[in-house]
Amino acid sequence: MKKAIVVGAGVAGLAASIRLAIKGYRVQVFEQNSYPGGKLSSFSLKGYRFDAGPSLFTMPHFITELFELAGESSERHFEYSKKEVACTYFWQDGTQFTAHSNKAQFLKQAHQTFHESEENIERYFKRAKKKYELTASLFLEKSLHKFQTFLSVDTLKALFQLRTFELQKSLHQANSDTFSSIHFIQLLDRYATYNGSDPYQTSGMMTLIQHLESAYGTFVPKKGMVSITDALYGLAKRLGVEFAFENSVEEIVVESAQVKGVKTKTAFFEADFVISNMDVFHTYKKLLPYAKPPLKKLQQERSSSAVIFYWGIARQFENLDLHNIFFSEDYQREFEAIFKEHTVSDDPTIYVNITSKDVPNDAPEGCENWFVMINTPAQHGQDWDQLVDRLRTIVVQKLSDRLGVALQEFIVCEEVLTPPLIESKTQSYMGALYGASSNDMMAAFLRHPNFSNRIKNLYFCGGSVHPGGGIPLCLLSAKIVDDLIPKV
């Protein structure tokens, strides 16, 4: 039986291992941590449970598809429900907007709150949908780095409608050209942060991200985000995938420009194929010491990172939901601080995720578990202790003012995650959450491909390579790798 080795048990590594096992390969996964999931993990603190990493769940069909391929019912192993409220938004002037998943409700509420016409908002959504439909099969579901990808009817359709993509505009410009409400524009600009980018730099093409949320909706796993990891890990094991935890790969062994296997501290493991779910930068720097690295791709600007405060809150807030955004007054200044000055502004946007709203056991009775995230630059040698202290003061004060409470009085326990900790725990280069940023019109083409041009049978999946970061794109990266590797 042919063997494939996967380096890293993040969500893309798990998905790749499942697909290859279904294909008939013997699969072995090596993971430096003692648990699977990478960023998609969880921990508990004084009776509060927290999802450590990704908190937004969209496009669940990419997960259920894996169970279907394996001939299993996903409902037996992974339960989730659709959210009626996608997100609640707060501005400092008192404006509040509840984004309903129901399209008609969203349009009506947006018209009432922002005084934009429902017809204009719907036209915007239709343009975003068209962008997605013209590009999904080309940019998201196939390797951009294989010539045959471009020999298709879909490519011709996309080329004939290039103006639709608004490539020459920034996302902010595309939104500003369509709407007049400063608040609504800011709400739509926020979608750049879904891949760690700057709305004032990233392409107007990124309006398609809004389509994904409005068309497919947002969901909540019944047992928290970590149940995605648990479900995929369980499926992989049932398919016979072997896992070696706390077992770091030290080198991908290459002979005559072809993969031979991997070395750990204790042994050599032979393989016909190696798939790295490790950040592509560290894959080259740490695991391929004798290979010539693709410097241009590895030196791209990193995406944003984050400081996350995990707070146990000893009360409940009826005006908050699962996803909550407290906007800054000067959005442009916030992104200039992140990407140009490598710091955090004095008025950052604050994201508060509260899973206990939908998963009651995540917090003691009458309490809530708060995942409080602030977008930050990646690790550039900043004094993170000083930055975190300053940020904490700002965040507590801002939330206290907006919610009308002395929030500090209700914080009963705390854990903090910073870019350096993200890098050390997940091997994400510079602590960047999404690999390279998308602050470039050609970003999709500049991401590292899902295969090596120089080393036969070496493949890559995960957020640092094509098609990008975030759970859905990581799962698609595993699908692309699966399509590239032949059946046994």
Looking at the structure of the chain, the number of domains it has is 1
What distance in Å separates the CA atoms of residue 90 and residue 88, rounded to the nearest whole number?
7
Across the range 156-180, mean pLDDT stands at 75
192 assigned to some structural domain: no
200 assigned to some structural domain: no
Across the range 150-176, mean pLDDT stands at 66
Phi, psi of 219 (to 5 degrees): -130, 165
Closest CA to 324 of 102, 153, 97, 43: 97
77 assigned to some structural domain: no
Look at residue 422 and tell me whether its pLDDT is greater than 50.
yes
Pairing type for strands 273-276 and 458-460 reads parallel
15 assigned to some structural domain: yes
Across the range 67-86, mean pLDDT stands at 96
What pLDDT score was predicted for residue 305?
A: 97
198 assigned to some structural domain: no
Q: Would you state the structure tokens that stand for residue 470, as one six-digit string?
A: 């975030």
Pick the more confident residue, 342 or 156.
342
Tens digit of each residue's pLDDT (9 = 90 or more) over 172-228: 999 999 999 999 999 999 999 998 999 999 988 888 888 888 888 899 999 999 999
> Which CATH number does the domain housing residue 8 bear?
3.50.50.60
Secondary structure class of 47 (helix, strand, coil) = coil
> Which domain range does residue 36 map to?
3-42+55-64+223-298+439-484
Q: Which residues pair with 245 in a beta bridge?
A: 31
Residue 150's pLDDT band (cuts 50, 70, 90): very low
Place of tokens 């896992």: 243
DSSP 316: -
List C-alpha distances in Å: 95 to 184, 188, 395. 11, 16, 19
What pLDDT score was predicted for residue 130?
A: 85
Across the range 14-19, mean pLDDT stands at 98
Across the range 398-414, mean pLDDT stands at 98
Residue 443's pLDDT band (cuts 50, 70, 90): low
214 assigned to some structural domain: no
Helical H segments across 253-350, by residue range? 280-282, 295-298, 331-339
Residue 164's pLDDT band (cuts 50, 70, 90): low
Q: Would you state the structure tokens that stand for residue 397, as one six-digit string?
A: 């004060």
Place of tokens 């241009």: 296
459 assigned to some structural domain: yes
Place of tokens 């969901």: 219
Give the end-to-end CA distance of the chain in Å, rounded to a whole number.
8
What pLDDT score was predicted for residue 154?
A: 52
Q: Would you state the structure tokens that stand for residue 349, as one six-digit string?
A: 């946007």
What distance in Å separates the CA atoms of residue 171 and residue 202, rounded to the nearest whole number?
6
Q: Which residues pair with 31 in a beta bridge?
A: 245
17 assigned to some structural domain: yes
The 85-90 sheet, strands edge to edge: 96-100, 85-90, 323-326, 350-353, 368-376, 305-313, 411-417
What pLDDT score was predicted for residue 297?
A: 82
